[in-house]
């Protein structure tokens, strides 16, 4: 395979050249839907042809790999949480396990009494902890809710809520047992991909990617790397001339090396210094511009001049998202 063929198969596997039936199936296939901005979950699903009925409550929003928020199928939570379930990995050096555990139990008790708002919890504990500790444990980036979420004890109340709920999930499998299931699924959906890509996706050291997990996959060498993937269908669709990508789209953010989709000269315009990944337009599999919805009107900005048919096709695709019910 060459880079163009890799991109063609990735776009098929990631439902950019075929449809996914519904948002829960899509979340399972993609091992979670990136949801730092909740609108991206809806956009990503609509781009991929998925029915999004009830999406605000059918998925659970919580922190997964690399400290990122994802919308996931509740039945998948134990498996997806496993690689990073140890709460000590959050602020362990700054506060230590003992303080984290004490604060966690204090917060859980308050939630058991019916307090679910981060702001209200901060007010309740204002006299218990110093200002620096309060700043970290109730940080807008997650704070103490990150280790609680990793343990499967809390999650956001809905995909669009800022408040939290206590949850109860089944036993969390060991990391090795979880990876034996997750890694083949990653390569089947995100492949062709390398071990470095999988390590990046899950936020793990590459040496934890056991080659035995990959034995059922096909592989090939390219530019010094080994790419793994499931068998390609015999009728693989062509790369579309125009394709929308959501903010934090899986085709962009799920790989250590993004050169297959990201021209280097456009990188800083797509991935901002803050880490935010913008909604993009791909032309023949390569990012060529950005799109947005402003006052319910589709807009597109190409980095270089494009034929009228390209602009029209992008605007038509954005218009379909604008017209979709909010659900």
Least confident of 88-97, 173-182, 315-324: 88-97
The pLDDT, as a whole number, for residue 93 is 52
Query: Tens of pLDDT along 138-171?
Result: 888 888 898 899 999 999 999 999 999 999 988 8
The pLDDT, as a whole number, for residue 89 is 52
> How far apart are the C-alpha atoms of 39 and 160, rounded to whole Å?
9
The pLDDT, as a whole number, for residue 315 is 97
Please report, rounded to a whole number, the percentage of residues in the chain having pLDDT higher than 90.
76
Please report, rounded to a whole number, the percentage of residues in the chain having pLDDT higher than 70.
97
The pLDDT, as a whole number, for residue 213 is 87
- Residue from 65, 314, 294 nearest 179 by CA: 65
CB atoms < 10 A from the CB of 81, how many?
Answer: 22
The pLDDT, as a whole number, for residue 215 is 87
CB atoms < 10 A from the CB of 150, how many?
Answer: 24
The pLDDT, as a whole number, for residue 325 is 85
The pLDDT, as a whole number, for residue 91 is 53
Q: For CA atoms 109, 111, 112, 114, give the dihedral sign.
A: positive
The pLDDT, as a whole number, for residue 98 is 81
Quick one: 151 exposed, middle or buried, by C-beta within 10 A (0-12, 13-18, 19+)?
A: middle
The pLDDT, as a whole number, for residue 46 is 97
Reported as half-sphere exposure (CB side, CA atoms, 13 A), residue 183 has a value of 28
Average pLDDT rounded to a whole number, residues 77-103: 75
The pLDDT, as a whole number, for residue 69 is 94
Query: Tens of pLDDT along 43-74?
Result: 999 999 999 999 999 999 999 988 899 999 99
pLDDT for residue 87 is more than 70: no
> How far apart are the C-alpha atoms of 247 and 267, rounded to whole Å?
14
Q: List the structure tokens of 309.
A: 């048919």
The pLDDT, as a whole number, for residue 99 is 82
Query: Tens of pLDDT along 223-281?
Result: 999 999 999 999 999 999 999 999 999 999 999 999 999 999 999 999 999 899 999 99
Q: List the structure tokens of 217.
A: 């996959």
Q: Measuring CA to CA, how many Å separate 135 from each of 105, 139, 144?
A: 18, 6, 10
Q: Measuring CA to CA, how many Å separate 124 from each of 107, 132, 134?
A: 10, 15, 11
pLDDT for residue 92 is more than 70: no
The pLDDT, as a whole number, for residue 166 is 96
The pLDDT, as a whole number, for residue 11 is 98
Backbone angles phi, psi at 27, to 5 degrees: -60, -40
Res. 311 pLDDT band, cuts 50 70 90: very high
The pLDDT, as a whole number, for residue 290 is 98
Q: Greatest CA separation found in the chain?
A: 65
Query: Tens of pLDDT along 117-140?
Result: 999 999 999 999 888 888 888 888
> With contact defined as beta carbons under 8 Å apart, do 56 and 135 qualify?
no
Q: List the structure tokens of 266.
A: 């456009």
Reported as half-sphere exposure (CB side, CA atoms, 13 A), residue 45 has a value of 31
pLDDT for residue 88 is more than 90: no
Question: Which three-class secondary structure string do you get for the chain?
Answer: CCHHHHHHHHHHHCCCCCCCCEHHHHHHHCCCEECCCHHHHHHHHHHCCCECCCHHHHCEEEECHHHCEEEECHHHHHHHHHHHCCHHHCCHHHHCHHHHHHHHHHHHHHHHCCCCCHHHHHHHCCCCCCHHHHHHHCCCCCCCHHHHHHCCCEEECCCCCCCEEECCCCCCCCHHHHHHHHHHHHHHHHCCECHHHHHHHHCCCHHHCCHHHHCCCEEEEECCEEEEECCCCCCCCCCCCEEEECCCCHHHHCCCCCCCCCCHHHHHHHECCCCCECCEEEECCEEEEEEEEECCEEEEEECCCCCHHHHHHHHHHHHHHHHCCCC
The pLDDT, as a whole number, for residue 66 is 86
What are the residue ranges spanned by the domains of the chain? Answer: 86-151, 242-323
Q: What is the mean pLDDT of the chain?
A: 92
């Amino acid at each position: 395979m060459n880079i163009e063929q890799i991109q063609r198969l990735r776009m098929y596997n990631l439902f950019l050249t075929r449809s996914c039936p519904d948002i829960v199936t899509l979340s399972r296939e993609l091992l979670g839907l990136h949801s730092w901005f909740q609108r991206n979950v809806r956009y990503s699903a609509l781009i991929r042809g998925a029915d999004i009925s009830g999406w605000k409550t059918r998925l659970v929003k919580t922190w997964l790999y690399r400290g990122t928020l994802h919308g996931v199928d509740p039945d998948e939570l134990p498996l997806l949480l496993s690689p990073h379930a140890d709460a000590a990995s959050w602020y362990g050096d700054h506060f230590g396990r003992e303080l984290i555990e004490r604060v966690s139990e204090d917060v859980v008790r308050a939630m058991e009494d019916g307090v679910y708002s981060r702001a209200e919890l901060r007010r309740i504990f204002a006299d218990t902890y110093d200002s620096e500790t309060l700043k970290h444990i109730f940080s807008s980036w997650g704070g103490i809710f990150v280790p609680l979420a990793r343990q499967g004890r809390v999650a956001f109340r809905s995909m669009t809520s800022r408040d939290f709920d206590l949850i109860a999930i089944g036993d969390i499998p060991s990391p090795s047992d979880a990876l034996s299931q997750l890694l083949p699924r990653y390569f089947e959906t995100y492949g062709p991909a390398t071990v470095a890509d999988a390590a990046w996706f899950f936020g793990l050291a590459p040496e934890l990617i056991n080659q035995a997990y990959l034995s059922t996959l096909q592989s090939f060498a390219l530019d010094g790397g080994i790419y793994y993937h499931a068998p390609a269908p015999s009728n693989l669709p062509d790369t579309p001339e125009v394709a929308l990508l959501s903010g934090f789209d899986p085709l962009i953010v799920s790989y250590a090396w993004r050169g297959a989709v990201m021209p280097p000269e456009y990188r800083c315009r797509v991935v901002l210094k803050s880490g935010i990944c913008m909604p993009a337009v791909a032309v023949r599999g390569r990012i060529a511009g950005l799109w947005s919805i402003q006052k319910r009107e589709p807009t597109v900005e190409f980095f270089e001049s494009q034929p009228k048919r390209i602009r029209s096709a992008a605007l038509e695709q954005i218009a379909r998202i604008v017209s979709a019910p909010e659900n």
